[in-house]
Structure 1
Amino acid sequence: MITVVGIPGHRRVKLFRAAVLAAGRPAPAVVGWRDVCAGDFAIAPGSPVRLESPGEDAEVDRLLRGADRPAAHGEIIGLAAWYSGFIAAARRVERAATGPLTTPVDDLAVMFDKRRCHARLRERGVPVPAGFAARTYEEVRAAGWARVFVKPAHGSSASGVIALAFGTNRISAYTSAALDGGRLFNELRVHHYTDERTVAAIVDRLGADGLHVERWFPKATHAGRVFDLRVVVIGGRASHVVVRTSRTPLTNLHLGNARGDLAGVRAAVGEERWAAALETCERAAACFPGSLHAGVDLMFAPGYAEHAVAEVNAFGDLLPNLLVDGRDTYTAEVEALFPKVVAG
């Protein structure tokens, strides 16, 4: 029997449980992140352990940050403290488990630090945009790059990400982040800022927890919208792909964006370039060889001749209603997991 550490009742846990039951396996045991934070949990001897996202639970977020108060809905706060708390909690699970973790904590620690993840990919020959670490708006501006993506080092789901362009006498910034009464919030829509003072204030607020800055990689368009790919690599093979399209530089689907025409994009790219892109995604996931699965975000340049990896996500497999040969991501992961466990 597998153990899932997650948020009880969350759809991620429910979907994985359904896949395990459909495979004829016993229902997973579920351990809540709240219990892990409290140190009040147990894992059955020898049970393989799946670490699920601790997101979308305000109390878990507060506990991981070690904060006195919960964050307001959408508030971006304490990202570095959250990261430290999350990795510490995952280490508690690791120490309690005698079976394998489907995502080792060492892998989590790198994937949830965009600076370290980018460096690992680059060192191992995976194409990524040029990048550097920063903490202030002035550091970003001093780099002299005309267009950049500014990313919180420990952010997720595009929270706090800023697509920033510098002109001669003006700037342009697209982001879902917004200041409100001196606090910073992530909203479900993309704002366009042209006031440098506002942008600098947002960047500096995020910079307190560390920033990863990348040279802007121009994205290809299809059917009049920019796009990138979320590719879920399972057991070393690119398994499920979704096209994410947008009218702004930010393509995350929860920001009001839309899934694109996979067959149409694949045809436009061409089979040779498509195969090369998926192979790049597999090489990116292979940088985390202990992880059963990873979500890789891949960008094509206009004309499709070049591509680069933007992110590698430990919890990037939530793609509802996306079936490949009748299997969703969770079913494919269960099929890959149990032979691995038996063989081990």
Structure 2
Amino acid sequence: MTFTVVGTPGDRRTEVFAMACRSAGLPDPYLIPWCDVLRGREFAMPPGTLLRVDSPGEDPEADALLRGPGDPARVGGGARWHRTFTGALRRIGAAAGQAEMLGDAGEIAVMFDKRRCHARLQAAGVPVPPALPEVHGHDELRARMREAGWRRVFVKPAHGSSASGVVALQTAPGRVKAVTSAVAGPRGLHNSLRVRSYGTEREVAALVDALAPDGLHVERWIPKAAVGGRVIDLRVVVVDGTPTHAVVRASDNPMTNLHLGGVRGDLDAVRSALGPAGWQRALDVCARAAACFPRSLMVGVDLLIGIGWRRLAVAEVNAFGDLLPGLTGLPGSAAEGKDTYTVQVEAALTRRKPACAT
């Protein structure tokens, strides 16, 4: 048995997955570079291979092919990125032939559209934050917030990732505060590794209006539980329907992403606060979210835990949410002591292809 990976040469994901294959006694995966796919070059896969589609990664060349030339750190271009990316996924699916895809192209496309992903989860009864109908700019956003009686929301680019362009917005009579990693510059918005705040209506309006052309998804802000003075959420990796790994993301600001200053928190403390029944309920919610994407071997679920440790909601489902260096599987599970890639290789070798979902 062999694997083929659509990925980026030198990307950490590709390298760690190859290590997992070698540990299982398999040859290194056959690599199809994302840039070749995006340029429309012909590519073929070894017969009988298991096909893994990985992230395009941080490759500036791939980024330019996906959303056009420009600074890779810029915010925006998500709609073009999504169109190009989903077109490439269709090409990969068409070229797969008899290869078994471990991440379904159509499901990956939905996961990269926050509006469609939210709607799919909600239709399946998975708890999600309430969302506003699509808004197209700052004035419409503020009007919709007033109609709903909401003062705190997360404004998310419809096709963003890694919190790029996400705005945590709080309002009160005569006051406004937006927290984001997006920084305004002479050439528009760009991402910073430092979260900052904007406190005037003019700044917030300019920020939201700059993000709006690519599409926005706006969710009600669910106040998060805290451990040790930091708010927390969970990234839970689900492999073949079973939650296998979990990491606590803790932060002293609304953005818990680890690359924005978040830190790995104490999972034992979170499990203790939830209690055995609450912890099992959290895992069940993540499994239900993953079940909405039955043709994808792995998904990463971002789970919100509300103040009081009772409310749960799925904020995101990630097609490429498994890069968690040093993290081993949940204690007492079949994944204990194994990293996310090793568990996926083992699951892929034994998995039976599920029936097609509607």
For this structure pair, what is the TM-score category when the shorter chain's length is used for normalisation? over 0.9
Query: Which amino acid is the alignment partner of residue 2 of structure 1?
Result: F
Give how far 1:182 is off: 4.1
Runs in 1 of length 4+ with deviation above 6 angstroms? Answer: 341-344
Task: Identify unmatched segments of 5+ residues in structure 2.
Answer: 330-335
Contact 1:151/1:160 (CA < 8 Å) preserved in 2? yes
Is 1:266 aligned with 2:277? no
Q: Which residue of 1 aligns with 2:332?
A: none
Residue 28 of structure 2 aligns to a residue whose secondary structure is coil
CA distance in 2, matches of 1:77, 1:258: 26
Q: Which residue of 1 aligns with 2:348?
A: 337
Which is worse superposed, 53-62 or 145-154? 53-62
CA distance in 2, matches of 1:6, 1:198: 38
Alignment of 1:65-214 (within 5 A): 65=67, 67=68, 69=69, 71-98=70-97, 99-132=99-132, 133-143=134-144, 144=146, 145-214=150-219
Alignment of 1:193-342 (within 5 A): 193-324=198-329, 325-340=336-351
Task: Identify unmatched segments of 5+ residues in structure 1.
Answer: none
CA distance in 2, matches of 1:48, 1:290: 13
Q: Which residue of 2 aligns with 1:62?
A: 64
CA distance in 1, matches of 2:310, 2:353: 42
Superposed CA offset, 1:140-159 (max 9, x none): 11112210000000000001
Structure 1 residues 156 and 292 mapped into 2: Cα distance closer, same or farther (>3 Å)? same
Q: Which residue of 2 aligns with 1:14?
A: 15
Contact 2:193/2:261 (CA < 8 Å) preserved in 1? yes
Which is worse superposed, 71-80 or 220-229? 71-80
Give how far 1:77 is off: 2.8
Superposed CA offset, 1:59-106 (max 9, x none): 1111122x2x2x214111311001000011111111111211111111
Give how far 1:204 is off: 1.0
Which is worse superposed, 79-88 or 40-49? 40-49
Identity of aligned residues (%): 53
CA distance in 2, matches of 1:208, 1:81: 11
Residue-pair matches, total: 341
Normalized against structure 2, the TM-score is what?
Answer: 0.93
Q: Which residue of 2 aligns with 1:30?
A: 31
Q: CA RMSD in A?
A: 1.4
Normalized against structure 1, the TM-score is what?
Answer: 0.97
Residue 270 of structure 1 aligns to a residue whose secondary structure is helix
CA distance in 1, matches of 2:158, 2:354: 37
